[in-house]
Amino acid sequence: MSKEQALESAEHAGSGVRGAASPEATAERTITLELFRYHPETDSEPRFQSYEVPYNEDWVVLDAINWIKDHVDGTVTHRWSCRMGVCGSCGMMVNGEPVLTCAAFLKSYFPFAVRVEPLVNFPVERDLVVSMDGFMEKLEAVKPYMIRDDVNDTSGGEFRQSPAELAKYKQFSMCINCMLCYAACPVVGHEEEFLGPAALALGHRYNKDSRDQGFAERMDVMLSDEAMWGCTFVGECSVVCPKHVDPAGAIQQAKAMGAQEYFKRFVMPKGAGA
């Protein structure tokens, strides 16, 4: 093979990528993005700002936002990383629905305008970025880790777990912490003590893991007044979940287990439930 061939192929290798990422790819068609803008340093109140973006049917909403930031307005502020639906960074409200913007294709909205807002039920940090402080505290509260005495003793090899035992919690371990379920949940919005769908599903994930022995400890948290019982089974969390974790199902199971535990702890005399 010659060097010319090599260089030609290198050029060729680039063509596809540049096609996807550059403004030259634009046909004459454009699509309008209306971005929620709010910067506490400079703005007294939020507003919407419209941008005309080249329409490319392979693009997702995130690509359009990135295009704006790169080429038009560097002050637009949002989070993103993997662009393949697994890092959980880029959740936003698109036309009123909580979605991962890396999985929301422009072609599902074209030719109409796309309105992008930060996830609801969270304080806005700036533009499309929300504060995650409360969410992180709730995740931590359910003690989402293996609880047993020999957890650091590897001498006996792996803890055995059958495929059937794995299947009991696997679904609930798929949460990417994208927080869409918190934006969809009507209880999260007005009940601060409510742990919310993702955190409860995560606590339940460990409770259902055959290797774990921390059920009682975890239930100390989950059994408190509004932590879990606040859920009214609207089920929107499971509808919007991009990873099919079904937090509503997890909470339903957790409540059933919790009711038994509650009965054991507070209704039966001590020791009688053993």
Partner 1 sequence: MSHAAAEQHDVVIVGGGGAGLRAAIAIAEENPAFSVACVSKVYPMRSHTVTAEGGAAGVIKPNDSLEDHIYDTISGADWLADQDAVEYFVHRAPEEMIQLEHWGCPWSRMPDGSVAVRPFGGMKIERTWFAADKTGFHMLHSLFQTTLKYGNIVRYDEHFATKLLLDDAGRCRGCAAIELRTGAVRAVLGKSVIICTGGAGKAFPFTTNGAIKTGDGMAMAYRAGVALKDMEFIQYHPTGLPGTGILITEASRGEGGILVNKDGRRYLEDYDLGEALDVSDPRHPQKRAMELGPRDKLSQCFVKEMWAGRTIRTKDGDAVHLDLRHLGEAKIDRKIPFVRELARNYAGIDPVHQPIPVRPVVHYVMGGIDVNGESATDIAGLYAAGECACVSINGANRLGSNSLTELLVFGAQAGRNAARFAMDNPELEVGGLESQARDEGERIRRAYFSANARSAGSAGGGGAGERIAVLRNELHEAMEEGAGIYRDRESLEKTCDKIAELRERYANVTLDDHTNGFNTELTAALELSSLLDVAETIAHSGRERTESRGSHQRLDHPERNDDDFLAHSLAFRAEDGRTPRIEYRPVTITRWPPGARTYGADSGLKREAEGSGAGGPSAADGNNE
Asked if 26 contacts 54 with a C-beta cutoff of 8 angstroms, the reply is yes
From 4-12, 26-34, 109-117, 181-189, span contacting partner 1 (CB under 8 A): 4-12
CA distance 169 to 210: 9
Write the single-letter amino acid at 266: F
What's the min distance (Å) between Cβ of 86 and partner 1?
6
116 or 187: whose CB is closer to partner 1?
Answer: 116
CA distance 171 to 213: 20
What's the min distance (Å) between Cβ of 72 and partner 1?
9
CA distance 26 to 21: 10
- 38-77 mask for partner 1 (x: CB under 8 A)? -xxxx---------------x----------xxx-xxx-x
88 or 187: whose CB is closer to partner 1?
Answer: 88
- 215-254 mask for partner 1 (x: CB under 8 A)? ----------------------------------------
Beta partners for 33?
Answer: 51, 114
What's the min distance (Å) between Cβ of 12 and partner 1?
7
Total residues contacting partner 1 by CB under 8 A comes to: 82
CA distance 247 to 181: 8
Please, which of residues 11-40 interact with partner 1 by CB under 8 A? 11-22, 39-40
* Residue of 36, 49, 86, 215 interacting with partner 1 (CB under 8 A): 86
Least Cα distance to 33 among 91, 124, 101 occurs for 101
Phi/psi for 139 (5° steps) reads: -60, -45
144 or 264: whose CB is closer to partner 1?
Answer: 144
Sign of the CA dihedral 42, 45, 50, 53?
Answer: positive
125 is a contact residue toward partner 1 (CB under 8 A): yes
44 or 152: whose CB is closer to partner 1?
Answer: 152
What's the min distance (Å) between Cβ of 28 and partner 1?
18
Q: Is 210 exposed, middle or buried (0-12, 13-18, 19+ CB in 10 A)?
A: middle
In the numeric block, which tokens belong to residue 122? 């969270």
What's the min distance (Å) between Cβ of 45 and partner 1?
16
CA distance 21 to 62: 12
206 is a contact residue toward partner 1 (CB under 8 A): yes
101 is a contact residue toward partner 1 (CB under 8 A): no
Write the single-letter amino acid at 154: T
What's the min distance (Å) between Cβ of 92 and partner 1?
14
Compute CA distances 134 → 49, 127, 182, 199, whole Å: 28, 19, 11, 11
* Residue of 113, 166, 234, 268 interacting with partner 1 (CB under 8 A): 166
What's the min distance (Å) between Cβ of 84 and partner 1?
5
